[in-house]
Structure 1
Amino acid sequence: MSSKQTIGFIGFGAMASRMAENLAKAGFAAVAYTPSGKGGNGDTPFLPSPAEVARKADIVLVCVPDDEALEASMYGAEGALAGMSAGGLLLNTSSVSPEATKALFDAGAAREICVIDCPVSGSTPEAESANLLVLAGGTDDAIARAKPVFDAIGRMTIHAGPAGSGARLKLVVNGIMGAGLAAVAEGIAYGLAAGLDRTMLFDAMDELAVISPHHKRKIRMAKAGDFSSQFPTRLMQKDMRLLLDAAARLAVPVPTMGAVTQQLSLTRRAAPDADYSALIGVMEKIVANDA
């Protein structure tokens, strides 16, 4: 790069702070805003509002937890859009609803701002190692503009289609991820209740080709009883809820996803900030006295 560009982060939690570290390695500078004024990277200056971040940045990158946080940080006199100039680039990596995604795209277009919905697949380990999968919706030209950023934070960018496609693909990915974890949790619960040796059972799961590397990592966490958050239960449950709503709007029956959402709602009640693999622990506790 001939000159250092500045990324303006709106939201600077576990994922965004790790993205910032990898963007710094690629030659970008960073400024950030969070509602708490706190974040995970001491080298990044924090500014008092999203608008101020946008005014200082060449590219705005949004990483907030839900539709409500997106609305609060994007709109109004202190929102990021108010601080951006025509021709600006806004990258929304948040996992939010298709409706919130479209509203942000339309608001950006009205100001001649290029908005790309680009949620990422991967948890904190992938964010730290720059191995995220970027799921991007937008035109070819828009994706090309964002390529240096995407290449710095991820191992691959999937151009999912026009604006909004990245957000929809993210719901597909996380729905399958949540359903897979629930199936693992139920299988382990049956095995424990049936009297199988716990160590043997968890170790066997780690050898099976039918279980994904992601879910094997969750099984190892559950075996150790370590549910340190890589992807919090509250966010996985939120994504499942968004998927249910999106599918219902299209009259797509998703009974499996509905049941999984209920399981994750129970887990969220028990451990909202723990990793969503805590569902395995919840199921294990339910059957603990059976054998």
Structure 2
Amino acid sequence: MRAYTPSGRQQDEATPIVSSARALAQEADILILCVPNDAAIFASAEGDEGFLAGARRGTLILNTSTISPEATQKLAERATEKGLRFVDSPMSGSTPEAEKGELVMLVGASHDDLEAARPVLGAIGKLTIHAGEVGAGTRLKLVINGIMGATLNVIAEAVGYGLSSGLDRTMLYQALAQVAVISPHHKRKLGCAEKGDFAPQFPTRLMSKDMGLLVSAARSTHSFCPSIAIADQALALSSKRHANDDYSALFGAIEKSVVKQDEPANEA
């Protein structure tokens, strides 16, 4: 593990490298977790080399990962048992926002723990939203990513219809870039799709994972989310071929499925 500055730049070669999460926790007053899923969280937390074994009483744990509500609650309980302070703080935004320091931090924590974490949260993002107690940050993040994923799927389906109906491809993408009903985020994704550039800002495998978490969470609360369930299936299918491409690769997958065989198409 190597230390980084708040801007994300790697520190100089004199920065110490530690061999395990436990060793890092033994040297730190604040730990920031940012891993892809529930399994990775507990792999870093538990066992003889996990950070729970090394963290000193009072250490502040900031989990910026997007994981399930159940995993968030379990991790918070394990941290509390060890006398640690836990802040549930997933991030909203992807590579462009991170590079510009414009992430939004979605926080579930006590007032005191939030205030202790605020300087670090402020270094990571432009805005901190206090959603409630531990777990509220995770649930808010699933709401936001559900809107992202479901909306992109609807736009991709509509683009597929437009192309199938014979609309000019360039005109279609440029028209959608101008209308108010599409968010700036999704206009950015449309721009990538128009160029066939699906370099990962938010990989499909992670969006698909988040949609799956939301569908599971919605089932546990008996929530009515059919559009989200459909988008979950679409992104799961896209992830089979485009796991490490940006989740906007769904545009390319749908476009390839509707283009006529004698027409050129960007590889999806």
TM class by smaller structure: over 0.9
Alignment equivalent of 1:244, drawn from 204, 208, 215: 215
Alignment equivalent of 1:138, drawn from 96, 99, 109: 109
**What is the number of residues matched between the two proteins?**
262
Tell me how far apart the structure 2 counterparts of residues 45 and 235 of structure 1 sit (CA, whole Å): 30
In structure 2, runs of 5+ residues without a counterpart are 264-268
| Secondary structure at 2:155 match in 1 | helix
Is this contact kept in 1: 2:6–2:123, CA < 8 A? Answer: no
**Mapping of 1:75-224 within 5 angstroms?**
75-224=46-195
Deviation (angstroms), 1:156? 0.4
Alpha-carbon distance change, 23 to 272 in structure 1, aligned in 2, over 3 angstroms: closer
Tell me how far apart the structure 1 counterparts of residues 125 and 56 of structure 2 sit (CA, whole Å): 27
Tell me how far apart the structure 2 counterparts of residues 61 and 74 of structure 1 sit (CA, whole Å): 12
Alpha-carbon displacement from aligned partner over 1:137-168 (angstroms, at most 9, x marks no partner): 01111110011111111110000000110000
Tell me how far apart the structure 2 counterparts of residues 80 and 128 of structure 1 sit (CA, whole Å): 28
> Which residue pairs with 2:7 in the alignment?
22
Q: TM-score, normalised by structure 1?
A: 0.86
Tell me how far apart the structure 2 counterparts of residues 226 and 46 of structure 1 sit (CA, whole Å): 36
Alpha-carbon distance change, 190 to 272 in structure 1, aligned in 2, over 3 angstroms: same
The question of 1:280 aligning with 2:251 is answered yes
| Secondary structure at 1:61 match in 2 | strand
Tell me how far apart the structure 2 counterparts of residues 175 and 210 of structure 1 sit (CA, whole Å): 18
Is this contact kept in 1: 2:6–2:124, CA < 8 A? Answer: no
> Which residue pairs with 2:237 in the alignment?
266
Alpha-carbon distance change, 141 to 54 in structure 1, aligned in 2, over 3 angstroms: same
Alpha-carbon distance change, 251 to 150 in structure 1, aligned in 2, over 3 angstroms: same
> Which residue pairs with 1:73 in the alignment?
44
Q: For the aligned residues, what is the CA RMSD?
A: 1.9
Alpha-carbon displacement from aligned partner over 1:170-222 (angstroms, at most 9, x marks no partner): 00000000011001101111111111111110011111111011000000000
| Secondary structure at 1:81 match in 2 | helix
Is this contact kept in 2: 1:94–1:119, CA < 8 A? Answer: yes
| Secondary structure at 1:78 match in 2 | coil
Deviation (angstroms), 1:58? 2.0
Identity %: 48
Alpha-carbon distance change, 43 to 243 in structure 1, aligned in 2, over 3 angstroms: farther
Deviation (angstroms), 1:57? 1.7
Q: Which runs of 4+ in 1 moved over 6 A?
A: none
Q: TM-score, normalised by structure 2?
A: 0.93
Alpha-carbon distance change, 43 to 62 in structure 1, aligned in 2, over 3 angstroms: farther
> Which residue pairs with 2:26 in the alignment?
55
Read off the aligned partner of 2:224 and give its amino acid letter. Answer: P
Tell me how far apart the structure 2 counterparts of residues 210 and 142 of structure 1 sit (CA, whole Å): 38
> Which residue pairs with 1:34 in the alignment?
none
The question of 1:227 aligning with 2:203 is answered no
Is this contact kept in 2: 1:23–1:152, CA < 8 A? Answer: no
